[in-house]
């Protein structure tokens, strides 16, 4: 089961060393746009993480613990958004960003990317929040706490495990997203790290070794990030499943 996932990674690393060896990486790292790509990817990923976290935790709390009219209807309408492929939304997103005047800006990618991540994140988080005893919420209400205080002082500390899992999944998706930056960001200074391999593909040239080296550089930060947060990620998913 592991082999189909490991083989492309091994092939990518081996292919990036063909011919020039480590010199292929030196050529890729010497690209003047590389620092801008990393900066843009970090900004977009960080802003998307903040939006997804705030919206997901608030929605999960509302759907699980608050008495909201037609709560289940709104929840299933949110889940329907998961059925929409990203490519289907490109044309309306392009038109919308143009009319809003945010085309070729960070917001043109941050807002759609966050919106696409929220439905699945809410599905995970709501299951976890439903497992939190309602007696804690009732006790907080008896002590005079409103919905906001219950959310910040009861729900936020107790939902850290599932929040960490949501953040890891969102970070990986944001960093690896290729389609939205390709369509909604045209200025090279505002593009993301996933655009790096394109700089070695031209009308009459296709330097596969440099493309693979650029792909390794693009993937390396997420590999390191996942390994560093693996325990927190698995704990969050396991806690959500058990709840």
CA 131 – CA 56 distance, rounded (Å): 16
CA 196 – CA 23 distance, rounded (Å): 17
CA 173 – CA 207 distance, rounded (Å): 27
Q: How confident is the model at residue 53 (pLDDT cuts 50, 70, 90)?
A: very high
Residue 66 above 80 pLDDT? yes
pLDDT given for residue 203 in this prediction:
66
What structural domains does the chain harbor? 34-242 (1.10.3720.10)
pLDDT given for residue 85 in this prediction:
83
Q: How confident is the model at residue 240 (pLDDT cuts 50, 70, 90)?
A: low
Within 10 angstroms of residue 163's Cβ, the number of other Cβ atoms is 22
CA 102 – CA 116 distance, rounded (Å): 18
DSSP class of residue 68 equals -
Q: The whole model's pTM is what?
A: 0.87
48 vs 147 pLDDT, higher one: 48
What backbone torsions phi and psi does residue 139 show, to the nearest 5 degrees? -65, -40
Tell me the CA distances in angstroms from 34 to 38, 92, 184, one per residue in order. Answer: 6, 30, 19
The predicted-structure confidence for 68-114, as pLDDT tens digits, reads as follows: 888 889 999 988 888 888 888 899 999 999 999 999 999 999 999 99
Residue 237 above 80 pLDDT? no
User: How many residues would you count in the chain?
Assistant: 243
pLDDT given for residue 239 in this prediction:
62
Residue 243 above 60 pLDDT? no
The mean pLDDT value of the chain amounts to: 87
pLDDT given for residue 52 in this prediction:
95
State percent of the chain over pLDDT 70: 95
The number of C-alpha atoms within 13 Å of 200 and in the hemisphere containing its C-beta is 20
Residue 241 above 50 pLDDT? no
Q: What mean pLDDT is predicted for residues 225-238?
A: 75
CA nearest neighbour of 218 among 243, 192, 193, 191: 193
CA 121 – CA 117 distance, rounded (Å): 6
The predicted-structure confidence for 156-215, as pLDDT tens digits, reads as follows: 888 888 888 888 889 989 998 989 998 999 888 888 999 888 888 876 677 888 889 999
Q: What mean pLDDT is predicted for residues 118-142?
A: 89
Q: What mean pLDDT is predicted for residues 16-28?
A: 87
pLDDT given for residue 46 in this prediction:
94
């Amino acid at each position: 089961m592991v082999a189909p996932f490991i083989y492309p990674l091994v092939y990518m690393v081996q292919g990036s060393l063909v011919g020039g060896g480590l010199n292929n990486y030196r050529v890729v790292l010497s690209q003047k746009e590389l620092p801008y790509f990393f900066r843009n990817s970090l900004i977009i990923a960080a802003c998307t993480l903040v939006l997804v976290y705030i919206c997901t935790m608030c929605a999960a709390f509302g759907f699980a613990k608050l008495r909201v009219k037609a709560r289940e209807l709104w929840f299933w309408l949110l889940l329907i958004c998961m059925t929409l492929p990203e490519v289907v939304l490109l044309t309306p997103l392009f038109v919308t960003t143009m009319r809003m005047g945010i085309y070729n800006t960070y917001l043109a990618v941050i807002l759609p990317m966050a919106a696409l991540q929220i439905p699945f994140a809410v599905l995970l988080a709501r299951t976890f929040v439903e497992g939190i005893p309602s007696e804690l919420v009732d006790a907080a209400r008896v002590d005079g706490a409103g919905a906001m205080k219950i959310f910040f002082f009861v729900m936020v500390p107790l939902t850290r495990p599932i929040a960490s899992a949501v953040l890891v999944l969102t970070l990986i998706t944001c960093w690896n997203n290729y389609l939205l930056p390709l369509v909604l960001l045209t200025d090279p200074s505002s593009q993301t790290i996933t655009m790096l391999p394109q700089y070695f593909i031209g009308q009459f040239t296709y330097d596969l070794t440099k493309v693979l080296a650029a792909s390794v550089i693009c993937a390396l930060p997420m590999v390191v990030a996942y390994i560093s947060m693996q325990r927190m990620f698995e704990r969050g998913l396991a806690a959500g499943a058990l709840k």
